[in-house]
Amino acid sequence: MMVNSKMQKRSRKPAQLKKTIFSLLFVVFPLPLWAALPTPVAPSTGPPAGDWIGLIQGYIKDGGLVLGLAIAVLGFLWIAYLGFAKFNEARQGKAEWAEVGVLGIVGAIVLIFASYLLTEAAGVI
């Protein structure tokens, strides 16, 4: 038993040494693939070259639009969750079916209004 465990420890050392050497070589001598990185996507406003302030404003605008879209998606998911919960309550007899219908109508109106506000806000930004 002792001889076998010593052999296993000895066989691990060269493998660990090889891993260490190869990782150091890859760090010290990087592959030429590093030079083939993609160029960053310009913002939707497309400022002229060298206009850093315009570039930052464009990225902030695009970030605001993505944030507004995320808020709209969360609103849709919240209304859908409430609709399923109210539907389940109506099936169990804890709520009226009219409440499910009212929630559906009011939820649709809220989502349409939120979409309208986000569309207007995108034009202002």
Q: What is the dihedral of CA 22, 26, 28, 34, to 10 degrees?
A: 180
62 within a domain of the structure (yes/no) = yes
Q: What spatial distance separates the first Cα and last Cα of the chain, rounded to whole Å?
A: 74
Specify if 6 maps to a domain: no
Give the list of residues 6+ apart from residue 106 with CB closer than 8 angstroms, or none: none
Q: How many domains does the chain have?
A: 1
40 three-state secondary structure: coil
Residue 92 lies in a domain: yes
Predicted TM-score (pTM) above 0.85: no
**Chain segment 64-74, per-residue pLDDT in tens:** 888 888 988 99
Where would I find the H helices in the chain? 2-28, 52-92, 97-124
Asked if 107 and 79 touch (Cβ cutoff 8 Å), the reply is: yes
68-124 pLDDT per residue, tens? 889 889 999 999 999 999 999 999 999 999 999 999 999 999 999 988 988 888 887
Any domain includes 70: yes
What is the residue range of 75's domain? 52-125
